[in-house]
Amino acid sequence: MTRREFIQSLTGGAAALAMSGGRAPGKEPTASRPNIVLIMADDMGFSDLGCYGGEIRTPNLDRLAKGGLRFAQFYNCALCGPSRAALMTGLYPHQAGVGERWTGLLSRRCVTLPELLKHAGYSTNVVGRLDMVTADNWHDPRLIHRHVDHFFGSTGHVGPGNYFKGVRDNPFYLDGKPYGIPAEGFYKTDAVTDHAVRFIGDAAGKGKPFFLYAAHYAPHWPLHAKGEDIARYRDMYRTLGWDELRARRHKRLTELGLIDAKTRLSRRDPRVPPWNTAAHKAWQAERMAVYAAQIDCMDRSIGRILQAIRKAGVEQNTLVLFLSDNGPSDQVWSRPLDRKGRPWRLDGTPTRVGNKPTIMPGGPDTFVTYGPPWANMSNTPFRLYKGTSHEGGIATPLIACWPQVIKQGGAVTQQVGHIIDIMATCLDAAGVAYPAAFADRTVQPLEGKSLLPIFRGKRREGHETLCWQLRGTRAVRRGTWKLVALKGKPWELYDMEADPAETNNSADRHPQRVQAMVAIHRAWARRCGVVRPGSAAGAKGGEDHYDRLG
């Protein structure tokens, strides 16, 4: 151990002692502190789950919702890195160092949820896609044990890679050591769950409360799934198509109370033809069948995690949270060669790349996405997709289940929340104070607010405003009003109570409201490091410039 590491261990311990009210970490009776399981999907649509109106089979998440609480208006940050940074720090992503451009390192002016819980006596465990890393060597898989007790998965902000392999481009690690992926029988969703279940069993055996962050790769492209899972969906999507299924999802969302019956369904993406005139229906249906299979498999994996919690005898006092990092992707991959002009080899495997009917998705030698037609359906009833600040980019399902606290099983709340609230909620549940300083660094004040009052059936004092900015897209929500714009496009204004699908732009009718909300967004952009004070872009309000706060 270096001298610096030794000093950090002392200061970290002192911080933990202060946060626990003078008790040594781990000495508090575990019955008073819940276990916390945080599960994140990757690139999943608002209405994909059964309990959010979808036709995909998700019985485990549906049961979780039946015993817990669903949020109808919960937001993420539109893209993987920014959302995960906000999730783990309770800050806006720009404050955490993850703005328009980022290196994979968080600012030293923040502290992560696993760090705080570990120092407060929790057993901390992470599995899956860890592309959010701190300035203090989270990016080095050999040193992650400084921040969590156990880690299995991959680091770095690359995509999932090959679901069946993941060797060269996306290496896996287990507790600081390279993990040898077996040549046969490997699938990332299953492997992540295998280790999550083992970590839960180990933590429960130690008599300590545990924290588990399960960051799934699914259903992020490429479309890779097991054949038996794909077969469950093939005929349904060939028979019904995207138009009929959008209409069914819309109807089901109203029946579930997740949207008001007056909510209009946004119009079909203009790039998408009516299903009855679409060409290559068998191939189109196969794309959605593989995507659905990825979610189906993820749901079964979540069922195994929930079973491990029950087996450990801690179900009643375990808080489980499930959400997605952003909306679905409408991206279309059509480049037959990589950036160096060579044939694609995804994780060392010769790969057929392209969204064309000659490449049927699903297998490890393919790289196909499901594109605008099905992403449009995944986001029913919203507009647009991942990477935008419209609802289709930032609206996520959030399921919360904690039997000891959430008593209104199956309820839906319309109270607005944001991914920055997850950190505050978990700390509140664990009885851990958010510090002004941690180890050898000063940290910024927490932006998130606890969701615990909502869990207890009360109204909380929510955020007066929420703001977004990413790659030129931007938004601000204040009360029921939302101001939003695409890159290089004028502001649009929507009443989210009357028009959550953003179908009726009222900016021209409310110019003063637009001006007031633009001023709010500009002030937020300066405060949170979206723009540098005094920069040319800052003088314009930060619409076209981003800056990383380091």
386-427 per-position pLDDT tens digit: 999 999 999 999 999 999 999 998 999 999 999 999 999 999
* Domain at 3-25+35-328+377-455: CATH code: 3.40.720.10
Q: Is the pLDDT of residue 16 over 60?
A: no
Q: Which residue has the tokens 């896609």?
A: 129
DSSP state string for 321-358: EEEESS---------SB-TTSSB-EETTEE-EE-SSTT
Structure tokens at 194: 């295998």
SS3 135: coil
Query: What pLDDT is recorded for position 345?
Result: 81
Under the banding of pLDDT at 50, 70 and 90, the label for residue 538 is very low
| Residue the block writes with tokens 């539109």 | 78
- pLDDT at 4 (0 to 100): 38
20 pLDDT exceeds 50? no
pLDDT 10s digits, 29-41:
344 899 999 999 9
Residue 513 has what pLDDT? 97
**How sure is the predictor about 540, in pLDDT bands with cuts at 50, 70 and 90?**
very low
Return all residues near 400 (Cβ < 8 A) that are at least 6 apart.
68, 69, 71, 319, 320, 321, 406, 451, 455
Distance of CA 26 to the CA centre of its chain: 29
More confident position, 111 or 338: 111
Residues 6 or more apart whose CB falls under 8 angstroms from that of 289 comprise 230, 232, 233, 234, 236, 237
Give the pLDDT of residue 335: 75
Q: Residue 180: its pLDDT value, please?
A: 85
- For residue 272, what pLDDT is reported? 97
Per-residue model confidence as pLDDT tens digits over 353-393: 888 899 999 999 999 999 999 999 999 999 999 999 999 99
Burial class (CB in 10 A: 0-12, 13-18, 19+), 343: exposed
Question: Which residues share a beta bridge with 126?
Answer: 151, 213
**DSSP annotation string for 146-182:** GT-SEEEEEESS-----TT---SSS--EETTEE----
- Number of alpha carbons in the 13 Å side-chain half-sphere of residue 52: 29
The mean-pLDDT minimum among 122-126, 187-191, 337-341 falls in 337-341
Local structure of residue 77 (DSSP, 8 states): -
Distance, in Å, from the CA atom of 453 to the CA atom of 339, rounded to the nearest integer, reads 50
Q: Please give the Cα distance from 17 to 133 (Å, whole number).
A: 25
Give the pLDDT confidence score for residue 139 in this predicted structure.
Answer: 53
The percent of residues in the chain predicted with pLDDT above 90, rounded, is: 71
The model's confidence at residue 342, banded by pLDDT at 50, 70 and 90, is confident
Residue 87: pLDDT band with limits 50, 70, 90? very high
Distance (Å, rounded) from C-alpha 21 to C-alpha 527?
Answer: 32
Place of tokens 């990757």: 42
Q: Is residue 536's pLDDT more than 90? A: no
- Over the Cα atoms of the chain, what is R_g? 22
Q: How far is CA 216 from CA 25, 44, 53, 187, 322, in A?
A: 30, 11, 21, 12, 11
Q: Residue 271 carries which DSSP code? A: T
From residue 376, how far is each of 50, 103, 221, 294, 323 by CA, in Å?
A: 17, 31, 16, 18, 19
In the predicted model, is pLDDT for residue 18 greater than 90?
Answer: no
Between 132 and 105, whose confidence is greater?
Answer: 105
- How far is it between the farthest Cα atoms of the chain? 69
Q: What is the pLDDT of residue 154?
A: 84
* pLDDT at residue 12 in the model: 39
CA–CA gap between residue 281 and residue 239 (Å, rounded): 9
Three-state SS for 92?
Answer: coil
DSSP structure class, residue 532 = -
What is the predicted pLDDT for the residue at 419?
A: 98
Share of the chain above pLDDT 70, in %: 85
Question: In the CATH scheme, what is the code of domain 465-539?
Answer: 3.30.1120.10
pLDDT digits (tens, 9 = 90+) for 481-508: 999 999 999 999 999 999 999 999 999 9
The pTM assigned to this predicted structure is 0.90
In terms of Cα–Cα distance, which of 63, 16, 61, 66 is closest to 39?
61
> Residue 257: which pLDDT band, with cuts at 50, 70 and 90?
very high
CATH 3.30.1120.10 region(s) of the chain?
465-539
- 87-91, 202-206, 249-253, 264-268, range with the lowest pLDDT: 202-206
Task: Tell me the C-alpha to C-alpha distance, in Å, between residue 238 and each of 233, 289, 376.
Answer: 9, 9, 17
Q: How confident is the model at residue 308 (pLDDT cuts 50, 70, 90)?
A: very high
Amino acid at 312: A
Measured CA to CA in angstroms, residue 201 lies from 125, 126, 194, 206, 313 at distances of: 11, 14, 11, 9, 10
Confidence bin at 11 (pLDDT 50/70/90): very low
> Residue 181: its pLDDT value, please?
84
Given a cut of 60, whether residue 298 has pLDDT beyond it is yes
pLDDT at 534: 43
Q: Indicate where the chain has its CATH 3.40.720.10 domain(s).
A: 3-25+35-328+377-455
Give the model confidence (pLDDT) of 135-175 as tens digits.
454 556 666 766 789 999 887 656 778 899 865 666 888 98
pLDDT in tens, 445-486: 999 999 999 999 999 999 999 999 998 999 999 999 999 999
Question: What type of residue is 14?
Answer: A
* Average model confidence (pLDDT) across the chain: 87
